[in-house]
Amino acid sequence: AQTVTQSQPEMSVQEAETVTLSCTYDTSENNYYLFWYKQPPSRQMILVIRQEAYKQQNATENRFSVNFQKAAKSFSLKISDSQLGDTAMYFCAHSGAGSYQLTFGKGTKLSVIP
Amino acid sequence: DTGVSQDPRHKITKRGQNVTFRCDPISEHNRLYWYRQTLGQGPEFLTYFQNEAQLEKSRLLSDRFSAERPKGSFSTLEIQRTEQGDSAMYLCASSSRAGASYGYTFGSGTRLTVV
């Protein structure tokens, strides 16, 4: 069974600064995918970034990038130039290749302070 | 296309009552998923449909829970004899590709409170 651990229940960052959210996971699969999802208050969850485990290159989407350390089973999210709209719950998630399920961590509540 | 729609947004019910939630996926998505999110936790998988076929069910889906997708379009999730432990956000998601590896499109959820 897969597990996803987010050890930071809450974090805050000043607007325009950079913040890194941590995630570790455990899996017995060789081929899998990792995700960061954002859930703004009272709004739907949206996909921020996706990483394929067999790709060594870290995924990047505009201000969002990941640091994927496969051997350490670590998958952190870096948000650069933080904006007020980045305030949300952030969930790290895992999926095995061909699996229908996502396994989520407990989330990190990020507050961007003006 | 307005994305994945869920109805109602909020539901308060008395313990022991039955409730039904509806999910309308993105029209061209043939795969639909239900998740449950309790306070302070990440979403947990409940069940998965490909078209009208329910292909996977979590053991979290007790016999008081039933989900349907009769024509391969919208889906309903019914909870019978609700218990206080059923209080949670129920999330629906859809996708056009097999597997979760491409990510889902989530709805805004139905928040259930059992009193």
pLDDT score at A82: 98
Interface test with A, best of B54, B104, B111 (most A CBs within 10 A): B104
A107 residue type, one letter: G
Q: Are the beta carbons of B42 and A4 separated by less than 8 Å? A: yes
Beta bridge pairs of residue A112: A13
Alpha-carbon gap, residue A35 to A92, rounded angstroms: 6
**Which residues of chain A approach chain B closer than 8 Å at the C-beta?**
4, 33, 35, 37, 42-47, 50, 52, 91, 93, 95, 97-107
Alpha-carbon gap, residue A21 to B102, rounded angstroms: 22
pLDDT score at B1: 52
Return the biggest CA–CA distance within chain B: 39
pLDDT score at A56: 85
Given a cut of 50, the residues of chain B with pLDDT beneath it are: none
Residue B97: what are its φ and ψ, rounded to 5°? -120, 155
Could you list the pLDDT tens digit for every one of the 114 residues in chain A?
Answer: 789 999 999 999 999 999 999 999 999 888 899 999 999 988 899 999 999 999 889 999 999 999 999 999 999 999 999 999 999 999 999 998 878 889 999 999 999 999
**Is residue B68 left, alpha or beta, with left meaning phi > 0 and alpha meaning psi from -120 to 50?**
beta
Give the number of C-alpha atoms closer than 13 A to the C-alpha of residue B27, restricted to the C-beta side: 2
pLDDT score at A77: 98
